[in-house]
Structure 1
Amino acid sequence: MKNLRLKFVFITMSMLTAMVLILLVISDRYDRYWDEYDTYRIVKLVASNGYVKENTDEAIAFTTIDEDNKVNVQVNNTFLTNKEVKAVSRDLLDRGKKSWKWHDYIYSLKETKDGTWQVVFIDFSNYSASYAQVFLVTVYVIFGLLLLTGVSIYLSRFIVQPAQDAIDREKRFVSDASHELKTPIASIRANAQVLQSQITPNRYLNHILSETKRMEHLIQELLGLSKLDKDGRAHFDKINFSSICQEMILSYESLAYEEGKLIEDNISENIEVLGQESQLKQLITILLDNAIKHSLAKGKITIDLRQEKKVALLRVSNPSQVYPDDVLNNLFERFYQAEDSRNSSSSFGLGLAIAKAIVEKHKGSIKVWQVDGNLTFEVQLPIK
């Protein structure tokens, strides 16, 4: 829910920021156009009258250019020198009457009867916004965006509430259904065991017992996942993660050997994390069990634990069939199974979903990738 709220705020504020910037640009261009047009009316009027007050507040220049291309400066209220005004006047005359703007100069030309040109222009750069105005606009925009961000954060609580309610209902259903299923499954298993002791060996009965055992394991996983969703991290202690890894590897070496596979480890000593020992053991159990189950025949499973800065880095790698990207992107989804799979070995059940929940409960991260036929799971846990 926290990620969903952050995503809502990010998307909302990105759209609002883009809209505000677009509106500011449009407003600036609109205002500038009409300011330039009004300025053009002024210089056109001055050029028509052939007269301008020397003490005017406008940043205006008025020059005349005779038939010999000699420029006489009549009025110069700009920040330009007379030499620069003369050069600008010649450039404006070369452009002719078809234009009324060149760079930051708004100008108008008029030819008198004796062949003399009257050139009037205003240096529009003198009217650009001051640093104080730019600062005030920036402050107002930032303040407005911060205010909108606060409103978005407040509204996000109501936006995600239906999703939160749906997730809570799902969690309650899973928890309640799992508890309700425990009794009938246990009853089926007990009756099947009694029946097994009274009749000759029967493969159908053995299958019933095998499936009830699998159902009991699944129910325990569902209950464990439900518990992970509820538990906080109030009971976390300092745990020797290296010791736990070595202990779980030792217990799984025989199972891997029976499957014709080999576990190779490289565990750095005395790496400590803050967490629950039972959950961390379950995490390693899931990763090792998954590696043994889904590795290729006679494959070598490698487990590596080391410390990088303030992070405990655990990697479990095994050779496996090549999975497409859509499978890798959904491995941590509950009961995920590839669409083209035809056997149970392609289903990843709840194990990896539980592993992800455990890692997130410990404020860490887990990811998976596949290179050259090797499937690698990487867990990062903060070191306290």
Structure 2
Amino acid sequence: MLKRLRIKFIAVIMSIVTVLFIVIFGLVLHLTKQNMERESLQLMRGMAFRPMMSAPMHKPDKMPENIRLPFFTVLIDEYGEIAAFGGDYFDLTDKEQLRDLVDAVNERSKETGVLSEYDLRYMKADNGRIKTIVFADISSEKAMINGLIRNSVIIGLIGYAVFFLISLLLSKWVTKPVEKTWNEQKQFIADASHELKTPLTVIMTNAEMMSDKSYSENDRDGFTKNILSTSKRMRGLVESLLELARLDNNKAQIILADVDLSKLINDSILPFEPLFFESGMELAADIDNGINVDGDKEKLRQVVNILLDNALKYSDTADKVVVKLRRQSSESILSVSSPGIALTNEECRNIFKRFYRMDKARNDGQSYGLGLSIADSIIKEHNGKIWAESSGGYNAFFVSLPL
């Protein structure tokens, strides 16, 4: 899929570049050709309509100084006699060829035009009894246009190659987030399938054993309890997956309101105190009062519960878990620190990934590694930050929310 996406991106970029090149070079050629033709016609018009001498069939004594193009003029009197002048650029002694040129011009109704077979542009003028036809050589114009086309093609090919390389690099850069999301999605599906496979296997095995009449009634009751407990854990996993899906699609109902974060954390701590006491740990709170944030009360409570539950599960000594809330500049900083095996910097970054669990947690059968991912998604919805730090035998989770 990513390969096709890159190909489509490159194809779109190169199509745009092709259209731009065609338009730009086409306009340059068109405007250049128009300018050359206009300048040529202006010079020819100056020659065709300049005052004639009294002796009509004689060459003028003085040529206009502004005439620079290779040209010649043919004069035709009322008797059809032809005279031509225009310098040494053309051979004007061949009367038959001059007659052919005059006839070719007379066949055309337009006052100006091009005799492509002769590479000449003509302009007709009627000065009373004498008709004037000015011819200008356009071979230099054609050579210039051809040279411009050749240079445009060369520049276009070079530019095309450069833009192709740039689009190739850009395609990798643009699709990098898509590739990351795609890989995470594949990993997520694989992990979810693996996590669902285990409880399903347990349920199926216990169900098959229940159907075996060789087992006693007490054994069957045990199989039923196993199925029930595994089903509850499986339901918890499915609910967590649905929660993540809603947060990813921005469909989770985030109801923003003014929330007393200090009171919310104090209220959330109360149900956990007996749980920590039963585990032989102390839950201590150091909460600044009067800290309010703009957020969803229930979602923020869910984040606090996730952090407290995480501390309860993974604290490895009968020590104290400390919950702090401080006001820092324009932010509120919540921290939950607990004793445990030190986390590496990589683990502090990866611990918020879905289904990420360290080796010890993988075998406890209590966690699917989705809680911190859900907390991370909720905090991001509140324009906040969540991160982990480890030092001095304590692992601490921090949440920053704007006041």
- Mark the structure with the bigger radius of gyration: 2
TM-score (norm 2): 0.47
